[in-house]
Amino acid sequence: MASPGIDTEQEPLLGDRTPGSREWDIIETEEHYKSRWISIRILYLTMFFSSVGFSIVIMSIWPYLQKIDQTADASFLGWVIASFSLGQMVASPVFGLWSNYRPRKEPLIVSIFISVMANCLYAYIHVPASHNKYYMLVARGLVGFGAGNVAVVRSYIAGATSLQERISSMANTSACQALGFILGPASTDEVQFPQGNIDQVAVLATNVLFFVVLFIFALFETIVTPLTMDMYAWTRKQAVLYDGIILAALGVEAILIFMGVKLLSKKIGERAILLGGLIVVWVGFFILLPWGNQFPKIQWEELHNNSIPNTTFGEIIITLWKSPREDHNEGPTGCPIEQAWCFYTPMIHLAQFLTAAMLIGVGYPSCNVTSYTLYSKVLGPKPQGVYMGWLTASGSAARILGPVFISQVYTSWGPRWAFSLVCGIVVLTIMLLGVVYRRLVPFSVRHGRIQE
């Protein structure tokens, strides 16, 4: 049991309060302590299984889409991937509000049921005779709606941990998510909360920062498969295998980063880690800019090199789509002739791509865990369901716009324009962080409850 006057950095934010006690004094029994940590660890497991399901699907969406519907192109791929986040964006505030007024197990159970049904639909979208790509769009949207329970998970963990426990718990949550990528409810009495207004500028800025962090990673994971197939003439099976290995390696890297963030944040703070992570991400995307005089293989060059006699350009295109490779469900390899930039944009070398991926794999998890840890600290010990819902919604909006942005720009103008624009966005984000840097402090620090 905690004694009066204990530093709030070491006290949980949920617990029984006795009448007449000081507003920041919290009495917690050993039984309640064990209970809340059992709940937290169950939510770790929930995040793990959610990530397992997501990782199994994400790398195979593009080849699966090409196989079930030949009319689908890279632009439609962006909408399919974005539909997941659209569903999540709609569901997150709803589930967050629901969890503020009802036991958190209710929105969790409903969201899991929706996810199971949506994944069953996804598994059978090849059955209809037509419009298969639209069934995939709906299925992924419903899966995203079910994934809106992330807001409930984060809200509970934020409310059930002290400031000192928060960074470790948030990092563990992210580590469970990352581990899932590799392997493919407390009801409380009404309490009195400390007086003081939440810094709405800091809240808004953190939402923007979180949006950009999710935006840049969403577009990266969207473009990995099309980019490697275009640049290195990988087949669909090769792209799924190799890109899956790359993302699995990034997952291992992310776990190490999450563990490192837990230790480093105690020395330099979350704000400095967030700034450093954004700089590393910028360097990663800068390295992705094409250079040199080596160009990607064009799909029709394979037919040209086989010396097809007496054929017009139109006949070459027809023959291309009827090539033996496609008869084996592989399709033509190389950069599509429909993408005009393939003829004048240098290729991104494999070493160049792997180096950039490694740096983005360092910067993204650092920014991810520190941004929503800072957010929960800015909000303080008040119900965070709705606020966490909006944070998740901003992340979902990023996962909608990121895939659409990158698929449209990449298809039309190529990687040089796409990654240059991303670098510009990250620079603006770093400038925003500099402007609000001093405001991103815990609620208790802002109102003089404890020293920073």
pLDDT in tens, 157-210: 777 777 667 767 777 776 776 666 665 523 733 334 445 577 788 888 988 998
Find where tokens 């409903």 sit: 110
Integer Cα distance of 66 and 60 in angstroms = 10
CA of 386: how far to CAs of 99, 154, 193, 215, 273, in Å? 9, 11, 16, 21, 26
Q: CA-CA distance, 26 to 145, in Å (whole number)?
A: 36
Handedness of CA 263, 266, 271, 275 (dihedral sign): negative
pLDDT at 56: 67
Average pLDDT value over all residues in the chain: 75
What are the residue ranges spanned by the domains of the chain? Answer: 8-189+200-295+343-446, 301-333
Burial of 425 from C-beta contacts in 10 A (0-12 / 13-18 / 19+): middle
Q: What are the b/e assignments for 322-337, b being 16+ CB within 10 Å?
A: ebeeeeeeebbbbbbb
What are the residue ranges in the chain where pLDDT is below 50? 1-25, 185-186, 188-194, 301-328, 449-452
Report the distance separating Cα 179 and Cα 243, nearest Å.
17
Token match 């390899």: residue?
Answer: 333
How far is residue 152 CA from its own chain's centroid?
Answer: 16
Amino acid residing at 437: Y
Cα–Cα distance list, 245 to 40, 248, 252, 256, 287 (Å): 30, 5, 11, 17, 21
Instruction: Indicate if the alpha-carbon torsion angle 300, 245, 369, 385 is positive or negative.
Output: positive
Please, what sign has the CA dihedral across residues 406, 128, 118, 141?
positive
Terminal-to-terminal C-alpha distance of the chain: 25
pLDDT number for residue 285:
95
Triad 385, 444, 196: Cα angle to 5°:
70
CB of 260 closer than 8 Å to CB of 364? no
Q: DSSP character for 297?
A: P
Q: Which CATH architecture has domain 8-189+200-295+343-446?
A: Up-down Bundle (1.20)
Separation between Cα atoms, residue 70 and residue 64, nearest integer Å: 10
| CA–CA separation, 21 and 308 (whole Å) | 88
Residue 38: what residue type? I
Distance CA 421, CA 414 (A): 11
Distance between CA atoms of residues 334 and 345, nearest Å: 14
Distance (Å, whole) CA 89 – CA 390: 8
DSSP-derived secondary structure letter, 335: B
pTM (2 d.p.): 0.60
Please tell me the number of Cα atoms within 13 Å of 303 on its side-chain side. Answer: 25
Predicted local confidence at residue 108, as pLDDT: 77
Coil, strand or helix at 198:
coil
Secondary structure of residue 262 in the 3-state scheme: helix
- On whether the CB atoms of residues 447 and 111 are closer than 8 A, the answer is no
- Among the listed residues 265, 264, 255, 51, the one whose alpha carbon sits nearest the alpha carbon of residue 172: 255
The pLDDT of residue 74 is 63
Residue 309 has what pLDDT? 40
